[in-house]
Homo-oligomer: A and B are copies of this chain.
Amino acid sequence: MRSTPTRLRAGSSTADQLTVRRHNLSVVLSHLRDRGPRSRARLAEETGLNKATVSSLVAELVERGLVREGEVERATVGRPGQSIQLDGDHVVAVGAEINIDYLSVLVLSLRGSVLAEKRLALDTANVEPALVLSRLGRLLGTVLRGLAKSDIRPVGLTIAVPGLVEVDTGVLRVAPNLGWADVAVVAEIRRLLGDPPYPVLLDNEANLAALAEIEAQGPERSADLILLTGAAGVGGGVVAGGQLLRGAFGFAGEVGHMRVRSGGPFCGCGRQGCWEAVVGLNALLTAAASEHDPVRDPSLDVEQRLAEIGSRARSGDERVLSAIAEIDHWLAVGAGILVNVFNPQLLVLGGYFAALQPWIAGSLRDELRRHVFAADAGGTRVAFSTLGFSGSLRGGASQVLDRVFQDPTLVEPIGGDRVAHEDVAQEETV
């Protein structure tokens, strides 16, 4: 995902010059993200761009609210230079999520820090889609008004959903756990927000969570990773050869509906023996607690209910421990299939699976070695997400920020006027 300076010959046309300029802005901005704050001189040295160009690029990035001057950097040789760093105060991206038991919104700064996060417990499957979207619109409205007051500009919003998405049209095709089909989520949210000037995107929650895991690894990221979301549904976000796997028609990663257990329990999709029917959150809760136990009450916050499950497991509750062992077993069966098929570097367990880490980590690794054909599970490592339930939110926001890193001119200069750059023609020829 990193880029190198463009060494095209400038001067052939204005369009080419703007392309070169945009590319070099991206190189400098991405370099600051990947390598941290540094002086203009060091930026020039490391990117291969000349110093005058770097100064001009930095000036433009400052005007656009993307970088700012930081502390003085003491060079070992020569004059100390003013350090340049990403500006975390002006430009943000927003992630939102519609899931079975909750709605949530997260604001991510250009520097990758969370400026705000809100979650609303809501039994979405039993509420009309229009009403759910209206509640999400209100939640977003509150957050966006807060940003406006602080003069912070959103550059885009991505909405994560647990289902099949048409990315191009922003329509949720089908989400059986929500009971939704053909809902024009983007159009409705755009309407509720008064048609904002930035992009509003829709994507599958597992795809976005996989992007978040990749981001969380920093510049030395894995090219082959599978992220499993664990909630009522189980989704898979797959990065293979550095690319998010979407499939020929956008429907890849439906790991929750792999049939792993012949004659197993019925799934929300109507089929029998689907992986998510045996390892989803409901399978755990049904096995771990009686019907009127509060841990099974969808109107209560899911993290609180998982904390209660954890505390019962720690106190040796037999029913809870045997429910976890059953999940562990079937988790390994499905994970074994995925590792045989993809041979990823990393298998990351997210959502509620991460909350079970103390009880399943060791046995899952052992089981995986038994289920995978290649020796030592094909070299695949198992990891547990540290992003909690915010993975999809972060991934959605990162996806929007990534567009800015690729083309910083998407962000208008502070004050609103386009900056004229008369020094464009000075780009060096190599």
Contact = CB atoms under 8 A, between A and B. Distances in A.
A261 B337 CA distance: 12
A109 to B, nearest CB: 31
Nearest to A261: B262
A68 interface: no
A340 B257 contact: yes
Q: Which 7 A-B pairs have the closest CB atoms?
A: A247-B343, A248-B345, A257-B373, A251-B374, A224-B248, A251-B343, A252-B343
Interface of A: 9, 164, 173-174, 222-224, 236, 238, 240-241, 243, 245-262, 269, 271, 333, 336-338, 340-345, 370-375, 378-380
Copies, count: 2
A236 B341 contact: yes
A274 to B, nearest CB: 8
A253 B344 CA distance: 11
B341 A258 contact: yes
Given A337-B259, A340-B255, A245 B241 contact: yes
A167 to B, nearest CB: 13
Nearest to A371: B259
B370 A254 contact: no
Contacts of A378: 247-249, 251, 254
A415 B249 CA distance: 51
B371 A254 contact: no
A249 B371 contact: no
Interface of A is mostly: loop
Contacts of A248: 222-224, 343-345, 378-380
Contact of A254 (B236, B344, B373): B373
Contacts of A173: 374-375
Contacts of A259: 260, 333, 336-337, 371
B254 A341 contact: yes
A261 B341 CA distance: 17
Contacts of A337: 258-259, 337
Nearest to A381: B248
A413 to B, nearest CB: 35
Nearest to A341: B255
Contacts of A345: 248-249
12 contacts: A173-B375, A224-B247, A241-B245, A243-B243, A249-B345, A249-B374, A249-B379, A253-B343, A254-B378, A259-B336, A260-B260, A269-B373
Contact of A379 (B251, B262, B344, B371): B251
A9 B223 CA distance: 34
Given A259-B333, A336-B259, A375 B174 contact: yes
A224 to B, nearest CB: 4
A273 B164 CA distance: 30
Give the interface centre of A240, A251, A261, A341 by most chain B CB atoms within 10 Å: A341
A241 to B, nearest CB: 6
